[in-house]
């Protein structure tokens, strides 16, 4: 896992291009896209190694914030499989969780969409969401064979969710971040 130090200021905005209408709203680029992609590829290697004895997995993608990470992770798994003798058939299902209001996490987790997750029964699952405890409790009621959690970002906070996350891209300070499909009230997903 890659750790960003608490005092990491990010990269200067002068090094990047981004939409002009966001110029007043963004302080720095915390993790450049190329570094994210390289790290996601590394996570795909770990998943391929861990699931070597399986021939398929079900990826439960948590929308909306997880869609870019999920899509890139699944693509790397497919590419790695095509270039080796251990192809892992990957099915993707989508679920939407709502747990944020503005930049504050709320206590209530609302599952939108696939309330019935009976398609998980007996499957191996890799999950790419951020609000894990409640979701994992819900997922376990459908008796999957195995559950692994992948998260691009894990914030360094008290009672950190790292213990819930099997594949971590980056451990970061407790800052509110946007981009790569993460939003603030639906803004900034396109960064």
Query: What's the total number of domains in the chain?
Result: 1
Residue 114 covered by a domain: yes
Please say if the pLDDT value at position 148 is more than 70.
yes
Between CA 37 and CA 44, with CA 39 as vertex, the angle to 5 degrees is 95
Residue 95 covered by a domain: yes
Annotated catalytic sites, by residue?
A: 127
pLDDT per position as a tens digit, 149-168: 888 888 777 665 556 788 99
| Cβ atoms of residues 148 and 154 within 8 Å | no
Q: Extract the tokens encoding 135.
A: 């979701």
Q: How far apart are CA 123 and CA 57, in angstroms?
A: 7
User: pLDDT exceeding 90 applies to what percent of the chain?
Assistant: 18
* Domain of 166, in residue numbers: 2-8+31-172
| Cβ atoms of residues 127 and 149 within 8 Å | yes
Please say if the pLDDT value at position 138 is more than 50.
yes
| Cβ atoms of residues 111 and 127 within 8 Å | no
CATH number of the CATH domain containing 108: 3.40.50.2020
Please say if the pLDDT value at position 59 is more than 60.
yes
Residue 74 covered by a domain: yes
Q: Extract the tokens encoding 36.
A: 């994210």
Model confidence, pTM: 0.81
Please say if the pLDDT value at position 48 is more than 70.
yes
* Lowest-confidence pick of 35-39, 102-106, 138-142, 172-176: 102-106
Residue 19 covered by a domain: no
Residue 22 covered by a domain: no
pLDDT computed for residue 127 by the predictor: 56
Residue 101 covered by a domain: yes
Q: How far apart are CA 36 and CA 153, in angstroms?
A: 10
Residue 189 covered by a domain: no
Residue 183 covered by a domain: no
């Amino acid at each position: 896992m890659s750790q960003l130090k608490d005092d990491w200021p990010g990269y200067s905005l002068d090094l990047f291009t981004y939409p002009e209408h966001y110029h007043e709203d963004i302080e720095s680029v915390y993790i450049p896209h190329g570094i994210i992609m390289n790290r996601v590829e590394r996570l795909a290697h770990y998943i391929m190694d861990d699931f070597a004895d399986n021939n398929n997995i079900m990826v439960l993608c948590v929308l909306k914030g997880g869609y870019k990470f999920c899509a890139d992770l699944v693509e790397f798994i497919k590419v790695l499989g095509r270039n080796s003798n251990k192809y892992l058939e990957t099915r993707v299902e989508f679920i939407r969780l709502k747990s944020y209001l503005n930049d504050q996490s709320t206590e209530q987790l609302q599952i939108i969409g696939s309330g019935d997750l009976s398609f998980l029964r007996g499957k191996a699952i890799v999950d790419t969401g951020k609000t894990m405890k409640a979701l994992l409790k819900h997922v376990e009621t459908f008796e999957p064979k195995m559950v692994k959690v992948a998260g691009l970002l894990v914030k360094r906070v008290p009672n950190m969710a790292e213990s819930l996350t099997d594949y971590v891209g980056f451990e970061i300070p407790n800052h509110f971040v946007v981009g790569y499909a993460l939003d603030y009230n639906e803004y900034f997903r396109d960064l």
